[in-house]
Amino acid sequence: MDTVKLANALIPDGDLLPLEEYEKLYPPRNLPEGAQVTRLAPSPTGFIHLGNLYSALADERAAHVSGGVFYLRIEDTDEKRKVEGAVESVIRSLDYFGIRFDEGAEISSPLNVYGPYYQRRRAPIYRAFAKDLIARGYAYPCFCTEEQLDEIRKRQTEEKQTTGYYGKYAVCRNLTEEQIYRNLAEGKPFVIRLKSPGSGAEKFIFRDEIKGEVSVTENDQDVVILKSDGIPTYHFAHVIDDHFMRTTLVIRGEEWLSSLPVHLQLFRILGFKPPKYAHTCSLMKTENGGKRKLSKRKDPELSLDYYRKAGYFPLAVVKYLMTLLNSDFEEWENKNPQEDYTRFKFRINKMGKSGALFDLEKLNDISRTEISRLSAEECCDFLGKWVEEFGTQADRAHFSDREYITQILNLVMGTSGKKRRKDIVRAEQGVRLIDYFFDDTFKPEYCFRFGKEEVLAVLSAVSADYDPADDNTVWFCKLKNAAAAAGFASDTAAYKADPSAYKGSVTDAAEILRIAVTGMPNSPDLCTIMHILGKQRSLARIKAAMLAAEEAN
Ligand code: GLU
């Protein structure tokens, strides 16, 4: 068979360059020894999940700890799965978690010389190499219809053979020149298949960066490399792209491990050096005492949008994933709480070999700690961003007064060290926590433990004497006086010594005032709250509480 003639008949030269031109067009990268080039290669389906972030973080860290490059390639060979805006959504979602690409689709960078980064736009490159394989007798056209392929599969199942297109089942392998040209003349659609030189019997050891030594069987399947529309399959596109984009380390899900023999064979036949591979394990969760993969259908926490909407602190999600990626990260983080996580020496070969167990409680814990470390300004930025996207109209109006919010957060989040508030996991909680500082969202529940007379006595005494210029000590002195005037003990010890002599203690009087001003029996420092609210608003709240107390009896 004249395979060169066949190659010309199947794939006309048209826009194809001679093969050596592609090597010149995409030369090896000029990077220091050991620098890794990694990529995220999603299909533009619009669904980006925690597994993608996990993988992207491993890619990004592997590239950047080694002084390499992390790029974005869009695997859009399947038109049907394409969703408008999906690429922007990948970039935006990862950016939210602080993960940025150096190069790639929709990234503006001087490094963008290995593109196009959309596979559909690279069609001539794949065709040029497929043509070369045909010419060298390593690929051939296959005219089998879906029905014929079904038939083959049925036969194989009956004969208890491995399914697929290989060996004696690969009928189009043995078509005569005459049959091929007749099919072409009849306009029959065809795909291009690899003519696998493997027997399917030979086994060899492969070193995966994560899994270590794995035993693989040489490929004997004549996989499709170009579909009937001239667009490549994943297998072919992966090999061509990762070669010409000069990827050194392919990090991808372990579901691809089974097609690794195909890829290694393609690299060999094409004369390319294969990259290193790291097959990551799936994210699992425990359920009913067992383990299962996180599922798109059952687990809302798989979607990255879930974390943004719920207002998780993005760095907390990243640090949590770091604990899953490298188990010694947590120890390092405990020893270096002030250090940026990127200072940690991430290593791909420290990644777990089997299912990483996703634990939402642990993530919550990390989020609580991270949020408690924020300054009032940082906290204001974080909550403000969430409010902009997911808050109510009232929230947005509140956050337009940054100074007021910062004052509140300074108080509510505590000053430093042990006094820091450590129970906020998500932005939404933080935003609801300060609702009572705004009149439109102040919804008090007047749960006084005292009758109308006592409540009115305490509140009227406080309001008669309130001066916002008073410092904490003076404020408290005045509260004691007000308590005494209302028949409460101004001193807790005196109350304890003879409770029957009083209506309550100064603590009880303070609670009455607190409920009036904040609507709750517990709150941060009341003097500061009244100070932040201002005299007018504080006195108006006291008055409203007095009215409510009167009406209640
Ligand atoms: N498009 C493939 C996927 O989304 C990429 C796999 C790879 O990283 O090579 O699974």
Per-residue pLDDT tens digits for 298-326: 998 899 989 999 999 999 999 999 999 99
Q: Which atom of ligand 1 is nearest to the CA of 252?
A: 8
Q: Which residue's alpha carbon is at the smallest distance from atom 8 of ligand 1? A: 252
Q: How many domains does the chain have?
A: 4
Give me ligand 1 centre to Cα 136, in Å. Answer: 29
Residue 461 sits in a domain whose CATH number is 1.10.10.350
CB of 238 shorter than 6 A to ligand 1: yes
- Spatial separation of the C-alpha atoms in residues 244 and 275, rounded to whole Å: 11
Same domain, 174 and 214: yes
pLDDT tens by residue, 435-473? 999 999 999 999 999 999 999 999 999 999 999 999 999
- 411 lies in which domain range? 374-431
Sign of the CA dihedral running 119, 121, 123, 129: negative
| 49, two tokens | 């999940």
Centre of ligand 1 from the C-alpha of residue 252, in Å: 6
Which residues make beta-bridge pairs with 426? Answer: 312
Instruction: Return the ∠ at Cα 550 (arms to 544 and 552), rounded to 5°.
Output: 100
Residues 137, 240: one domain? yes
User: Which amino acid does the sequence have at 342?
Assistant: T
The reply to whether 361 and 389 lie within a common domain is no
Chain centroid to CA 407: 32
Final residue before a domain boundary, out of 353, 371, 389: 371
The finding on whether 275 has its CB within 6 A of some atom of ligand 1 is no
42 lines ligand 1 (CB under 6 A): yes
Query: Are residues 419 and 491 both part of a single domain?
Result: no
Please tell me whether residue 213 adopts helix, strand or coil conformation: strand
User: Do 344 and 318 reside in the same domain of the chain?
Assistant: yes
Distance of CA 225 to the CA centre of its chain: 32
Q: What is the mean pLDDT of each run of 10 residues along the chain (553 residues)?
A: 96 93 96 97 91 95 98 93 90 94 94 94 97 98 97 96 96 97 97 95 94 95 96 97 98 95 98 97 89 90 91 96 95 94 96 88 95 93 96 98 96 78 93 97 95 96 95 96 96 94 96 97 96 97 96 77
Long-range contacts of 461-464 (CB under 8 A, 24+ apart): 461/485, 461/486, 462/513, 462/542, 463/539, 463/542, 463/543
Nearest to 249 by CA among 218, 270, 280, 219: 280
- Domain end, chosen from 371, 389, 422, is at 371
What phi and psi values does residue 219 have, to the nearest 5 degrees? -70, 140
Instruction: Please report the pLDDT score of residue 14 as a whole number.
Output: 87
Strand order in the sheet with 69-72: 37-40, 69-72, 103-104
Q: Structure tokens of 125?
A: 């490159």
The neighbour count for residue 136, using CB atoms within 10 Å, is 14
For residue 170, the domain's CATH number is 3.40.50.620
Q: Report the atom number in ligand 1 closest to the C-alpha of 75.
A: 1
Q: Measuring from atom 3 of ligand 1, which residue has the nearest CA?
A: 42
- Three-class SS of residue 312? strand
The H-assigned helical ranges of 66-189 are 86-96, 123-135, 146-158, 177-185
CB 43 near ligand 1, within 6 Å: yes
Q: Hey, what amino acid is at 189? A: P
Residue 79 confidence (pLDDT): 83
The answer on 406 and 466 residing in a single domain is: no
Determine, yes or no, domain membership for 301: yes
Closest residue to atom 5 of ligand 1, CA basis: 41
Mutate to test the pocket of ligand 1, among 235, 256, 282 (most ligand atoms within 8 A of CB): 256
pLDDT value at residue 270: 98
- The predicted structure's pLDDT at residue 81: 84
Most informative mutation of 238, 249, 296 for ligand 1 (most atoms within 8 A of CB): 238
Residue 22 lies in a domain: no
Rounded (10°) angle between helices 50-65 and 86-96: 70
Helix, strand, or coil here: 207? strand
How far is the centre of ligand 1, averaged over its atoms, from the C-alpha of 259 (Å)? 12
Protein residue with least CA distance to atom 10, ligand 1:
42
pLDDT score, position 110: 87
CA of 50 to the centre of ligand 1 (A): 15
The Cα–Cα gap between 199 and 217 comes to 9
Q: Examine the fold and report which residue of 239, 260, 279 is the final residue of a domain before the chain moves on.
A: 279
Distance in Å, CA 52 to ligand 1 centroid: 10
**Does residue 191 form part of some domain?**
yes
Q: Tell me, yes or no, whether 274 and 187 share the same domain.
A: yes
Interacting residues of 472 by C-beta distance below 8 A, sequence separation 6+: 525, 527, 528
**Residue 232 DSSP SS3:** strand
Is 524 within a domain? yes
Sign of the alpha-carbon torsion through 378, 384, 390, 395: positive
Residue-level pLDDT at 327:
92
Ligand 1 near 259 CB (within 6 A): no
Instruction: Determine, yes or no, domain membership for 387.
Output: yes
Closest approach atom of ligand 1 to CA 238: 9
pLDDT at 553: 61
The residue whose CB lies within 8 Å of the most ligand 1 atoms, and thus the one to mutate among 37, 43, 267, is 43
Query: Quick check: is 331 in a domain?
Result: yes
How far away, in angstroms, is 253 Cα from ligand 1 center? 8
The pLDDT, as a whole number, for residue 356 is 85
Residue with tokens 């031109």: 21
Distance 280 CA to ligand 1 centre (A): 12
Look at the alpha carbons of 133, 135, 139, 143 in this order and tell me if their dihedral is positive or negative. Answer: positive
What Cα–Cα distance (Å) separates residue 162 from each residue in 110, 153, 157, 167? 48, 9, 7, 11
Give the chain's radius of gyration (CA, Å). Answer: 34
**Ligand 1 centroid, distance to 211 Cα (angstroms):** 18
Q: Ligand 1 in contact with 252 (CB < 6 A)?
A: yes
- Does one domain contain both 173 and 222? yes
Residue 345 C-alpha to ligand 1 middle, in angstroms? 26
Name the residue with the closest Cα to ligand 1, atom 7.
252
A 10 A CB-CB count for 240 gives 23
Note whether 269 and 335 are same-domain residues: no
Are 388 and 474 contained in the same domain?
Answer: no
| Residue 416 confidence (pLDDT) | 65
Ligand 1, residue 42: give the atom nearest the CA. 4
- Residue closest via CA to ligand 1's atom 4 equals 42
44 lines ligand 1 (CB under 6 A): no
Nearest 5°: phi and psi at 83? -125, 135
Contact 442, 436 (CB under 8 A): yes
Q: How far is the CA of 27 from the centre of ligand 1 (A)?
A: 24
| DSSP reduced 3-state for 251 | strand
Alpha helical stretches, state H, 204-359:
234-244, 260-270, 304-310, 314-325, 329-335
Residue 42 CA to ligand 1 center (angstroms) comes to: 6
Residue 137 backbone class (left: φ over 0; alpha: ψ -120 to 50; beta: rest): left
Would you say residue 49 lies in a domain?
A: no
- If phi > 0 it is left, if psi is from -120 to 50 it is alpha, else beta; for residue 200 that is left
Q: Are residues 219 and 308 in the same domain?
A: no
Whether 439 is in a domain gets the answer: no
Tell me: do 364 and 380 sit in the same domain: no
Measured CA to CA, the distance from residue 109 to residue 444 in angstroms comes to 54
> Residues 545, 444: contact at Cβ < 8 Å?
yes
Q: Please, what is the end-to-end C-alpha distance for the chain in angstroms?
A: 104
Q: Is the separation of the CB atoms in 101 and 107 below 8 Å? A: yes
Contact 437, 523 (CB under 8 A): no
Give the separation between CA 359 and CA 362, rounded to whole angstroms. 6
CA 518 from chain centre, in angstroms, equals 37
